[in-house]
Amino acid sequence: MKRHRSWGPLTYEDGSMSFSLWAPALSSLSVDIDGRVFPMEDRGGGWFSSKRIHVPEGTTYMFVLPDDTRLPDPASRYQEAGVFGPSRFLSSEGFGWMHQDWKGRPWEEAVVYEIHVGTFTKEGTFLAAIDHLARLCELGFTAVEIMPLAQFPGQRGWGYDGVFQYAPHAAYGSPHDFRRLIDAAHSHGLMVFLDVVYNHFGPEGNFLPLYAPQFFRKDDPTPWGDKIDFRQQPVRRFFTDNVLYWLDEFRLDGLRLDAIDQIEDDGEIHILEEISEAVRESFCDRHVHLITENPANGPDLLADVGGGRRLFVADWNDDFHHALHVAVTGEDVGYYAPFSEDPWQQVKKTLAEGYLREGKASLRARNAPLSASLPPTAFVHFLQNHDQVGNRARGDRLNTILDERCHWVLTEILTLSPQIPLFFMGDDHLSTRAFHFFSDYDGELAKAVADNRPKEAENFGGFPNGSGPEDIPDPNDVKTFIRSRLEWDDAEAAEGVAWGAFLKLLLHVRRTVVVPLLADAKGNAGTVVKSEPDAVFVDWSCGGQVLRLRANPSEHVRRLDGDLGRLVYPTEREVLPGILEPWSTHLYIG
């Protein structure tokens, strides 16, 4: 699939190349290509372009403003020297894909493993990550989700402050290195999803306001910066093209759109709908999945819009995580406060119906259906992700603060339920390594980032054991970043090996028993079955059969009533009729 793109460098069949930029704030514009300056043609509507012959691979360029200021291309494909350096032209044409026949996988097969490239390995590169893909495949994972890569300031960070949406972060490797990672993942049968941020730009290295202040709105900022003004057609094109760019030129299997509740669009067709339609029209020959993070819980984006098609395939369901976290830790401050009343009942409701709090429609032209009317696969569930670990005061993982028997049962609930399970990197071997929030700023900006950390810690569990704000590591200290790296020797230790074997068994049961029921799963599938408050008894009608989960995350024996069908997974080696032992789970089908 190839289509014309408005922004950034574009190559032609005759070997020529054009540079384009929307810069309505400027009266004229030039481009500096490897030290030679060429005037750009004013095409009207704020657009400037320059077509050049035989621009070599690796060429560097910058745009030259009327006052002779030189700035990089906001649609640069590679910022090898960082956000203030020149843009570098690299074409995808010469990359030799080894697995061009890869068509992806159906969504119901997804078992997602979230990674941060910079801390996934000691090297922190795309190429180093390849070495661990075979193990993930062997355990039963089917997808890798990568935290944002859009070039951001400095060498290290989470990526949610990206300013070059088309350029993979140079500290991780070149764009071709990223392609090699994706190609290698496909060789192991792994899908690759990328987290993208379309609600704001980071605070440093964003030069768009100098070219086009109309790119942003000043009337209603997001918590992280000015909102993007999707009322402007060139702005809309910037992002629809960006979506197609990642999916086409990198052969990604899908995107997860961050915090879409902060994407505001009053147009006749919402930008989120426009993105979805562009993907549907452009990729008919392989599976491509669009996922949201929507704290507003707007189910209309996940509803059937005709022919069994949904604009977005699933949403990250914080309600499941928050209720479960409160139930097992007792932490009920900040974001967890609304889940403090009867949290186990709320856990069961999320498993049966999706959201706890029904949100408003995201699209003006649509009504929001009840989340219970959506199939279970419309929700991504997790015990933790980068947010819920990295924003904690100590960056500690759930498995380090829970009774191991409880964590065992929670993992069974996550894996054996029909929702799509997501694991955070290290969850495959019970990593005890902290994962902190880290960044690479200086001066006042560094201080502002550090000053915000106590507020985030209050939202994610507070300050345990008498610790306080002074105990939060400085996010801009390189040691904070280094402490967040996975230690892969842990996966070879006895505990890591045993946990991996357990997880492999669970994912085998999911693949062979649960997944075959999910392709035809419909809405209103889940039912909470009466039980003791802390017992998780939920049934789902899927694929013409009933899946029955009976989980006991407590130290008390629980009774099982009636004919539950065929027992396909028990925690215990010896199962007693009608009995669910403490800290155990059964899965039945019938």
Give the pLDDT score at 171: 98
User: Distance between CA 550 and CA 535 in Å, rounded?
Assistant: 8
pLDDT-based confidence at 220, cuts 50/70/90? Answer: confident
* 198, pLDDT greater than 70: yes
C-alpha 350/C-alpha 194 separation (Å) is: 26
pLDDT at residue 299, as a whole number: 93
Percent of the chain residues past pLDDT 90, beyond the cut: 88
Q: Is the pLDDT of residue 184 over 80?
A: yes
Domains in the chain (CATH in brackets) are 10-88 (2.60.40.10), 110-196+237-440+449-513 (3.20.20.80), 524-589 (2.60.40.1180)
SS3 391: coil
What pLDDT sits at residue 3? 54
What the block records as the tokens of 388 is 């819920």
User: How far apart, in whole angstroms, are the C-alpha atoms of residue 163 and residue 157?
Assistant: 13
Number of neighbours of residue 403 by Cβ within 10 angstroms: 12
Predicted local distance difference test score (pLDDT) of residue 366 = 67
pLDDT of residue 369: 83
3-state secondary structure 229-258: CCCCHHHHHHHHHHHHHHHHHCCCCEEEEC
pLDDT (0 to 100) of residue 308: 80
Average pLDDT over residues 561-572: 94
pTM above 0.95, yes or no: yes
pLDDT at 4 over 60: no
CA distance 190 to 522: 26
Of all residues in the chain, the percent with pLDDT exceeding 70 is 99
Instruction: Locate 86 and state its tokens.
Output: 């020149």
The model's confidence at residue 570, banded by pLDDT at 50, 70 and 90, is very high
* Distances 393 to 21, 147, 170, 388 between C-alpha atoms, Å: 43, 21, 29, 10
Segment 45-90, tens digit of pLDDT: 999 999 887 788 889 999 999 999 999 999 999 999 999 999 998 8
In this structure, what DSSP letter does residue 95 have?
-
Mean predicted confidence (pLDDT) in 206-215: 97
Mean pLDDT calculated for residue range 104-128: 98
* Model pLDDT, residue 365: 61
Confidence of residue 500 (pLDDT cuts 50, 70, 90): very high
- What's the average model confidence in pLDDT over 298-315? 91
User: Is 105 within 8 Å of 119 (Cβ atoms)?
Assistant: no
At residue 1, the pLDDT reads 45
Assess whether pLDDT exceeds 90 at residue 221: no
pLDDT in tens, 317-349: 999 999 999 999 999 999 999 999 999 999 999
pLDDT in tens, 273-295: 999 999 999 999 999 999 999 99
Amino acid at 419: Q
At 108 the pLDDT is 98
Reduced to 3 states (helix: H, G, I; strand: E, B; else coil), residue 563 is coil
Phi, psi of 76, rounded to the nearest 5 degrees: -55, 145
Among 234-238, 263-267, 348-352, 452-456, the least confident range: 263-267
Catalytic residues: 258, 293
Q: Residue 302 CA to chain centroid, in angstroms?
A: 17
| pLDDT(94) > 90 | no
Give me 572's structure tokens.
Answer: 């215990």
Can you tell me which residue has the tokens 């027992």?
A: 567
| Whole-number average pLDDT of the chain | 95
